[in-house]
Amino acid sequence: MDSQNLKLLWFRQDLRLHDNPALHAAVAAGTVLPIYILDDVNAGAWKMGAASRSWLQQSLATLDKSLDGKLSIFCGDARAVIAGLVKSLPIDAVFWNRCYEPWRIERDAQIKNNLAALEIETRSFNASLLWEPWTVSKSDGTPYRVFTAYYRNGCLSLAAPRAPLIRPDNIRLHASRLPDSLSLEALAPQPARNWQRRMLADWQIGEAAAHQKLDAFCASMLDNYRKGRDFPALASTSRLSPHLHFGEISPRQAWHQVAQTAMQLDNEGAAHFQRELAWREFSYYLLYHYPQLPAKNFNPRFDDFQWLEKTSALGEWQRGKTGFPIVDAGMRELWQTGYMHNRVRMIVASFLIKNMLLHWRHGANWFWDCLLDADLASNSASWQWCAGSGADAAPYFRIFNPVLQSEKFDPEGEYLIRFCPELAALPTRYQHKPWEAPPDVLQAAGMELGKDYPRPILDLKTTRERALARFKALA
């Protein structure tokens, strides 16, 4: 093989060196030229939100360091960027790991065709999923629409996910970063805001940090994962979702490590964690087979649902000022940390969709901009699940009562006080529903409703009845 020819390695949602099949193949083929392209052109409405873009910048910095400062970075239409590189450099092969967003699938197919016309080899690999979406189907060849059948009858009937690959030895990199590479600062959200800096202060970012987090989860949290995962005040979840989204760690690595921990420690939490990984897979599966999922109701019956028009109440929900502590705590956690506990995600989504009667896309769009783990598949599927319009969705008539949820899953108010500290002086029973506190209790706590903490923006009983009536009208 001509040693002068370069192997272009295109990093995407796989910002790691371990368990990276495209990297392995490129290293085996010759000298590697690693690049990253931020393609807001083809992404259109689905270009990265501000929180995700902040994470990306830091993640690429750690990847670049692991590549001895030789990662070249570009912004723009990936089709044009790659065309320019193969025209100006002796590149005879291009390697990447597959992505599954509809716009990426369409763009990548065009790039493959363009490179084939130039007789340049292209090779793509699966680095992001346990099972490729097209390998799982019902006996009649159609895609599954129910998670349990998808997982038990589809996924688990296939070969087990392969063991993770280790980092390849002797990576031969191109001599230097390309002269027209952008600086990492060019990827920062514009305008830069203190919000992003505060948010990232809560996280360690990069491949090494992802493995440290998985190690800590397996060592001290996996045993209580089955029960503890529903309680937002507890450290009982992995918080791996941003690392998985950006590919700093692979689902195979997580799958196998929790399984090994379970065997060593007689731990039952692994099966439940693996099932959560499978829910992530199911979201990608749905997006692949139903590419309109981010914009259209999976169940067209909901196309006739009578939503309310967007009002100022949406802003109160976004800022965590609804007057319902568990909702406000969740929305403030999102704004302050770029993350929200999964149980609380369901509560705030139910409140927006069913009590406020606002379209699920308003919530999905806000999460898209504020979540560090903003993922088109998971975000779209999860919001539709909560709305009742998605695959295997929660029935629309399942309406979370935020007070009951708060009392059940945060009984001591620890999570509430963490993000709504103005409630700390209230007795615990009233922290979940401060509007029920008698005047003397409020006075003793030094609190005035409507000033120190908002009054409820709606009535739970009447808004629940309104939502059910609108749903019944669909029948």
From the list 132, 342, 407, 435, the catalytic residue is: 342
How far is Cα 209 from Cα 248, in angstroms, rounded to an integer? Answer: 9
Is 139 in the same domain as 115? no
Q: What is the CATH number of the domain that holds 451?
A: 1.10.579.10
Spatial strand order in the sheet of 72-75: 72-75, 31-38, 6-11, 91-97, 121-125
SS3 label, residue 75: strand
Within a domain: residue 202? no
From the list 276, 407, 414, 422, the catalytic residue is: 276
Asked about 10 being catalytic, the answer comes back as no
Q: What is the CATH number of the domain that holds 33?
A: 3.40.50.620
DSSP bridge pairs for 9: 34, 95
How far is Cα 28 from Cα 304, in angstroms, rounded to an integer? Answer: 55
Asked about 342 being catalytic, the answer comes back as yes
Is 311 in the same domain as 267? no
From the list 255, 360, 366, 385, the catalytic residue is: 360
Is 35 in the same domain as 122? yes
From the list 5, 126, 224, 279, the catalytic residue is: 279
Domain-ending residue, one of 256, 289, 322: 289
pLDDT the model gives residue 2: 42
Is 48 in the same domain as 59? yes
pLDDT the model gives residue 198: 86
- The string of DSSP letters for 345-370 reads HHHHHHIIIIIS---HHHHHHHHHHH
Within a domain: residue 21? yes
Asked about 309 being catalytic, the answer comes back as no
Is 458 in the same domain as 397? yes
Closest among 331, 298, 303, 297 to 317, alpha carbons compared: 331
Q: Which residue has the tokens 């940390």?
A: 337
From the list 317, 383, 385, 401, the catalytic residue is: 383
Is 239 in the same domain as 358? no
Domain-ending residue, one of 235, 262, 289: 289
pLDDT the model gives residue 262: 86
Within a domain: residue 156? yes
Cβ partners under 8 Å of residue 461, min gap 6:
none
How far is Cα 141 from Cα 44, in angstroms, rounded to an integer? Answer: 32
Closest among 25, 19, 18 to 9, alpha carbons compared: 25
Contact yes or no for 262/268 (Cβ under 8 A):
yes
Is 447 in the same domain as 401? yes
Asked about 407 being catalytic, the answer comes back as no
Asked about 195 being catalytic, the answer comes back as no
Is 104 in the same domain as 137? no
Is 111 in the same domain as 140? no
Within a domain: residue 196? no
Helices 207-220 and 251-265, packing angle to 10 deg = 30
Q: Is the dihedral of CA 324, 326, 329, 332 positive or negative?
A: negative
pLDDT the model gives residue 267: 67
Does the bond joining 242 to the residue before it have cis omega, within 30 degrees of 0? no
Within a domain: residue 195? no
Tens of pLDDT along the chain (475 residues)? 344 789 999 999 999 999 999 999 999 999 999 999 999 999 999 999 999 999 999 999 999 999 999 999 999 999 999 999 999 999 999 999 999 999 999 999 999 999 999 999 999 999 999 999 999 999 999 999 999 999 999 999 999 999 999 999 999 999 999 999 999 888 887 776 778 888 899 899 999 999 999 999 999 999 889 899 999 999 999 999 999 999 999 999 999 999 999 887 666 789 999 999 999 999 999 999 999 999 999 999 999 999 999 889 999 999 999 999 999 999 999 999 999 999 999 999 999 999 999 999 999 999 999 999 999 999 999 999 999 999 988 788 889 999 999 999 999 999 999 999 999 999 999 999 999 999 999 999 999 999 999 999 999 999 999 999 999 998 6
Number of domains in the chain: 3
From the list 114, 195, 307, 407, the catalytic residue is: 307
pLDDT the model gives residue 130: 97
Domain-ending residue, one of 225, 255, 289: 289
Q: What is the CATH number of the domain that holds 280?
A: 1.25.40.80
Asked about 307 being catalytic, the answer comes back as yes
Contact yes or no for 153/137 (Cβ under 8 A):
no
pLDDT the model gives residue 474: 86
Is 218 in the same domain as 336? no
- The string of DSSP letters for 196-235 reads HHHHHTT---SHHHHHHHHHHHHHHTGGGHHHHTT-TTS-
pLDDT the model gives residue 186: 86
How far is Cα 191 from Cα 224, in angstroms, rounded to an integer? Answer: 41
The parent domain of residue 50 ranges over: 6-127
